[in-house]
Amino acid sequence: MLERIQKILSAHGVASRREAERMILAGRVTVGGIAAVLGQSAEVGVDEIAVDGMPLASKEALVYIKLYKPRGYVTTMSDERGRKTVRSLVSDAGVRVYPVGRLDINSEGLLLMTNDGEFANMVMHPSYCKVKTYEVTVDGDASASVARMRRPMEIDGHQVHAASVKMIRRTDGGGVFRIAISEGRNRQIRKMCEQCGLRTLSLKRISIGTVTLGSLKSGQWKHLTEDERQSLVEIR
């Protein structure tokens, strides 16, 4: 059966579909020894598909992981600046898995990883978008900022609105919020806090939809249960 090459690469755990498209555009993918083009189709088992000169391996078992990403790790599989990556934390997973979405280097908490490109695309698609909840420690007048945090605000030209904002406790010089969002724009919570005159000291993602960190400690991972996996691909 003919399928788009980026879909084939994604289904075989080579990369997400979006990353596969970039690999094709970079000339890293060939079909029958000829550089593939974006939009091209091929048939697994009939056409000789290769990435960086290496033939496409047999499809691996699909793996779904939740990882407690520590601070100081970048959410990529390699880093040209030599920083620590989440890849090293899941090296014992048995297969190569890729992050679903991102957490910035100074944030910690729940990160999903998989070799199932279709699953990754579904989780990140707006139709399946799950509310993500964070615990955020800030410096500044936290009590006075609660009402402002609950109102819509503009971030990088887009209007965003937290699904919920709750102040858990006060601290010396600040406080701890529990903030839930659904948009997930780049550094959204840090920028929301900044607009309210607050400095983010720490940020931890504690859940995506109904999937939580549970008993995971920093740097640990475990396989998603089937119920957890299914909950992530249910249309909201």
pLDDT digits (tens, 9 = 90+) for 174-183: 999 999 998 8
pTM of the full predicted structure?
0.76
Could you tell me if 74 and 34 lie in one domain? no
Could you tell me if 217 and 198 lie in one domain? no
Could you tell me if 217 and 100 lie in one domain? yes
Could you tell me if 10 and 41 lie in one domain? yes
Angle between helices 17-25 and 117-124 (to 10 degrees): 110
Q: CB within 8 A of 82, min separation 6: which ones?
A: none
What is the span of the domain harbouring residue 190? 132-208
Q: Are 183 and 192 in contact (CB under 8 A)?
A: no
3-state secondary structure of 199: strand
What is the CATH number for 112? 3.30.70.580
Active site residue 104: yes
Could you tell me if 183 and 153 lie in one domain? yes
Phi, psi of 176 (to 5 degrees): -120, 125
Single out the catalytic residue among 104, 141, 156, 172. Answer: 104
Q: Which residues of the chain have pLDDT under 50?
A: none
Q: Which tokens go with 174?
A: 């600040």
Could you tell me if 102 and 161 lie in one domain? no
Nearest to 83 by CA among 65, 109, 106: 106
Could you tell me if 189 and 226 lie in one domain? no
Q: How does pLDDT run across 165-213, given as a tens digit for each residue?
A: 999 999 999 999 999 998 878 899 999 999 999 999 999 999 999 999 9
Q: Are 61 and 81 in contact (CB under 8 A)?
A: no
The domain tally of the chain equals 3
